[in-house]
Amino acid sequence: MNFFERQEQSRRSSRLLVVLFAVAVLAVIAAVNVVVCFVLAKAEERTLGYMPTVGEWMSTHTGTLLVTTLIVAGVIGLASLYKSMVLGGGGGVVARSLGGVRVSPDTTDPQQRRLLNVVEEMAIASGVPMPEVYVLEQERGINAFAAGHNPANAAIGVTRGTLTTLNRAELQGVIAHEFSHILNGDMRLNIRLMGLLFGLLVIALIGRTVLRLTEGARDSKKAWPVMLIAMAVLVIGYVGLFFGRLIQAAVSRSRESLADASAVQFTRDPTGLRNALVKIGALSYGSKIGNPEVEEVAHMLFAPGIGRFFATHPALEDRLKAIDPRFDPKEIDRVRAEMLLAEEQAKTQAAPKKSSAERLESLINVPGAAAVAGLVGNPSTIHMQVARDIRKSLPDAVVMAGRHPESARQLLLALALDPNPEARERQRQYITAQLGFHTADAIAQLQGSIDSLEPEQRMPALFTAFPALRQLTRDERLQLMSTLNGMLQREGRISLQSYVLRKLAQVQLKDEMSPAARTRQLPLSAVQKDVQVLFSVLAQHGHADGASARHAYEVGVHHLLPRQRPSFTAIPHWAQPLDLALSRLDQLAPIMKEQLVEALVKTVTHDQRLTLGEAELLRAVCATLHCPLPPLVAPTESN
């Protein structure tokens, strides 16, 4: 199953979740109405002299039932909405609720530094922004999670036990598992599940609160109907929550199995993930998390964080045999004995030192269009190695700038400057007017390091700065987006590379500020004009004559729209039309995006050559469409 199929499956699961939740809510409302009907009918028995039937009582008290229905539905809906709004702050909210402490980019803790390096390499290899990283310092068990609405506001959390117990390969396997949740669209589903389940839980909490408040009035005859209703609501609330947990477990198990398979595919080394799971089985405390909030996030965790009737994860042995069919359960006992013997010894494995990272080849073997589309959301071992090399090759000035909010903003603006000297000077004057001389001066000092970056280093430099950019206030981020737009208007002959990089930054900032924004899915027939703009702009850049550009355009668009396709049109002032086109094409269904990526590859490689600059431009365009491509290396592997 490729990235696009996984995205579509996630959408279907999300729709099914909403339907099941609606059924659970209706069941709770019906049950509460039955209880209210019975209790109030019983209370009227003395006045009427007989016990009215349910039908008789309902026919004369429809207003009461309507009010009850509205109250229960309103409570559930408002509680779910409240929880969803709280979680709108991103994955960091979930991490902090579990006692997570954000890992500073300047950390000197070797285990935290290793964790940051692994996450950063995975982000570079996946083509997504660097998520925030948290450590649950008080937790000894081996566990991790990824939370957020989208890659732009994602957070990855790991327990301290994960850092102290696992070696680098095992840690990489766990992080690859969590990145698969980021890439597969599982995080949004998990956040939505948390919000919906909270609505069901609130009904039970209300019943428990009312019972507590009426404890002093138990001898009063007038209090017993209220107490009986409260007790029934308490039971009904927990029954509703029971079925909610059942839904939670069912959704989680299928996604966890897929994440294990994706992690193995990402790293091409099943032993890391396999051995991490073996160590979980070998430890007496396994993957347990002691924080009382763990029940709410049980479906997000790498491994079960709490014992429960409905398992949120496949059985450990089943997961291990899916990864390694020859796995012998006796190995867990052997590893347990080894870990007991070495319990007091520090297990550190220094990564072998390497010389400066090898440069990617300036000319890449031309990959097949389907092969490149298959790489979306599916980085492999070679991409992880390239990502590690790129991370190590970034200039120190760039790395340091990306670690703190103010300098990260300066880094982003420096990356967004146009290469043309005259346009760049106009942009600097604009930045000075908007953000002050200090910011403009800091950008000028950073510019030498930015100009020395190779094409494959520019996206990683941008993405690694996002955790720091998220720490800017909302007003500061809005001002930053406004400044990026203003810079575009001051360019002369616009560079497509700098434009797309700037557009990518805006997309990620917008995703972070509006994580729950939903867009309708457009059919291909509704975006033909947008296809024409994107492919025309892509084709006319890098071609000295119109004939070559037209041929490149036709090759790609024919693949996407074989019957009725718009003709090639040179667009002199293309920035604004392209901005609109990318925004609309981002609303295509996942399966349509797969065809779009294949068509883009055909346009870029029409001359049977794929330069490094073209490859990185293709990656940047795909990233703005939320189709993250790993670095294209020679030879490109098919997944």
What's the CA gap between 20 and 58, in Å, rounded?
27
Q: Are 391 and 440 in contact (CB under 8 A)?
A: no
Q: Which residue has the tokens 């080849």?
A: 361
DSSP structure class, residue 383 = H
Task: Give the distance from CA 491 to its chain's centroid.
Answer: 33
List the catalytic residue out of 132, 170, 178, 256: 178
C-alpha–C-alpha distance, residues 259 and 225, integer Å: 50
453 and 398 Cβ atoms separated by less than 8 Å:
yes
H-run or E-run covering 411: helix 405-416
Nearest residue to 498 via CA among 455, 535, 530: 455
126, 379 contact by CB (below 8 A): yes
* Residue of 297, 311, 282 lying closest to 100 (CA atoms): 297
How many angstroms separate the CA atoms of 508 and 500, rounded? 12
HEC states along 252-270?
HHHHHHHHHHHHHHHHCCH
- Per residue, the 3-state secondary structure of 530-550, as one string, reads HHHHHHHHHHHCCCCCHHHHH
Q: What are phi and psi of 378, to 5 degrees?
A: -135, 60
Calpha distance 189→301 (Å, rounded): 14
What type of residue sits at position 460? P
Handedness of CA 616, 619, 625, 626 (dihedral sign): negative
Asked whether 285 and 47 are in contact (CB, 8 A), the reply is no
> Is 594 labeled as catalytic in the residue annotation?
no
Both structure tokens of 620 = 């940047």
- Alpha-carbon distance values, 526 to 25, 555, 581, 587, 604 (Å): 37, 21, 11, 10, 24
Buried b / exposed e across 627-639, counting CB within 10 Å, b at 16+?
A: bbbbbbbbebbeb
Closest CA to 308 of 323, 317, 296, 319: 296
For the chain, report the end-to-end CA distance as a whole number of angstroms: 10
Residue 635: cis peptide before it, omega within 30 degrees of 0: yes
Tokens of 328: 């012998």
Residues that are catalytic: 178
